[in-house]
Structure 1
Amino acid sequence: MADENQLRDARDAGDRLLASHPSEDPFAAAFKATRMPMLITDPRQDDNPIIFANRAFTELTGYSQNELVGRNCRLLQGPDTDKAAIAKIRDAISEERDVSVGILNYRKDGNTFWNALFVSPVRNQEGAVIYFFASQLDFTNIKSKESELAKARRVAEEEASRRTAELIEALRVKTELAHEVDHRVKNNLLTIASIIRLQMRMNTNPTVEHTLKSILDRVEALSAAQRKLLNDARVGQFDVADFGRDLVTDIVGSLQRPDIVLTTDLHSVTVSASKASALALIVSELVGDAVRRGLSDGGGEIHLEIRRLNGHCLMRVVDTVTPVEADGEQQAFSRAILDASIRQLRAKIEREVDGHRTEVCVTLPVGD
């Protein structure tokens, strides 16, 4: 608390300041009338006391002119005022430089307000600091809006986290369910294949055995596709090229013919898992057709190409074989399976035969 001598000195300094600016002086008139809270302190006196405050400042803080003059501005500070902000102001005044800071201040009645404070030194002609001029702006409403926005952001983030956790859990359940379904389908296909093999071993009719082998080939193609789905971490996705590589290698490898030359040009093309079975049958029928037309008898060349092309999946099988007489019934059955799979996928098929060379292209839309 300032003593009487300090109060008298502060009032005298204020009076001298006002006396140097008569009432008709625009500076004095603007300082008193402006709605922006302002005050002036005198650093040449002990504790840099307030020597003048305008009406806007007294209305903002609740202190009268008499209660303010002679006291340091720290009377506006309170228990929740940021110590770092206080230190920033104190250092700027000590170093006689400008400072601007947002600080929590207290009114006379104890209520708080957020103060956008700007302090600047006033120098005489010799450059010595004779006053400090301070302006204030109550930005409590803005700070409240920021607080509301921060709270809303926290609520939104918490809700997003909760929803994300729910989605992750739902995806986990879906993944487990999809793998369980794939696992059961794969097991069922393996069981069917085992039954067919058993029937083949017990059969003595070459025609029946040939028919059973034809069915087994298709079942194994479907089983291979299902195995890919089960082992792929990307649930619901099927890589056509990855599957095609394995299937054509298995088919050609099972023939055990060193005179068969297999080449591939494969690029990853991912499609929905719902297309897997139909695609597996298409690749199986295209390669199987080359086998039936002579690849398994006289050898030859077979080339498999799979790539993405203009929003489509291109599957291209080229073979060069010495033709043999193929079973007409088997060829018709294969063509029926191939046509049904093509229709299911809304794909297009083009076939070109030039002597011993046959090229078949299948294209189906896969989007981006």
Structure 2
Amino acid sequence: MSEALWYSNHMAEAPPGGIDRARLALIAVERSHMAMVISDPNQPDNPIILANPAFLALTGYTAEDIIGRNCRFMQGPDTSPESIAIIRDALAREIDVTEEMFNYRKDGSAFWNRLHISPIHDDSGKLIYFFASQCDVTSRRRAADLERSEQLLLKEIDHRAKNALALVQGIVRLSRSDDARHYATAVQGRVHALANAHTLLAVGNWQRVPLEVLLRSELVASGAGRVEISGPEVAVDVPQVQPVALVLHEIVSNAVKHGSLSSPTGLLDIRWHADHDGVAIDFAETGGPPTLPPATTGFGLSIAETIVSKQLNGRLQLDWNASGLHSRLTIPNMAMA
């Protein structure tokens, strides 16, 4: 006789000369590939009185381990309290319940268990047993979680692609030049700055990018030398990285083409600090050619002003003084790291 029947043969006795339906039911439970247990709510703590081989195989326990114990031994640290409450309520109300919950095997390994519990009443309506079936649905849950993750990832990729395309469209629309070669060069430089920012995001697993890293990347791309930078650690949020990169590109490129860095003796000093609810970045040019009025400089600073006001909700202040252009870029909602 099997373990399951050995521990449950007190449940029914064959009537003389009759069909032992209870014993046939027990044989069916024993031979089923579905994990099943029966508990006795009329004993203290509703203990298990029958467990079929499929249940023992699923959980790794022996019959001696579990007979006489409440089923809660399968719960663990990640078992949902909400699921436990749902099951307790159904048991108290003596109604059917089906719940998927995180359970644990004897060896400590976890699995998603689709648990179904039904009350069993006698002819008088008295509750005599609870029947419970268990099914390991871990693979299905993982597949569903993976599908949801993939859908979220695709939505995020679509969102990022649209943002990048919007920035490129803005670059093409705002860039202008009477010379086709100059126009192509300007657009190429701006798209390259956008691509650099995208690379920094991808390498960093789409997490916030340190301002200094973003700035140094632009200085290298622009071939800017004689630049001093200093400031506390600041992290640029993901949605701000590409717009900030474009603004930095315009300011640095203007210094290289028209400002202090166009002269072998010129310098560019970049410092940043906390400013109210954001960060202020100061660009001070010295030692370059005579400061030119805004109308005679490149169109890039106008693009920068548009990006700062429309996409970053910030401010770009330009001070055209005798010593060189001094710019202050103020970006709200940017915190110290």
TM-score bucket of the superposed structures, by smaller chain: 0.3 to 0.5
The normalised TM-score by structure 1 is 0.44
The normalised TM-score by structure 2 is 0.47
Greater fraction of residues in helix: 1
RCO comparison, higher one (Cα < 8 Å, 6+): 2
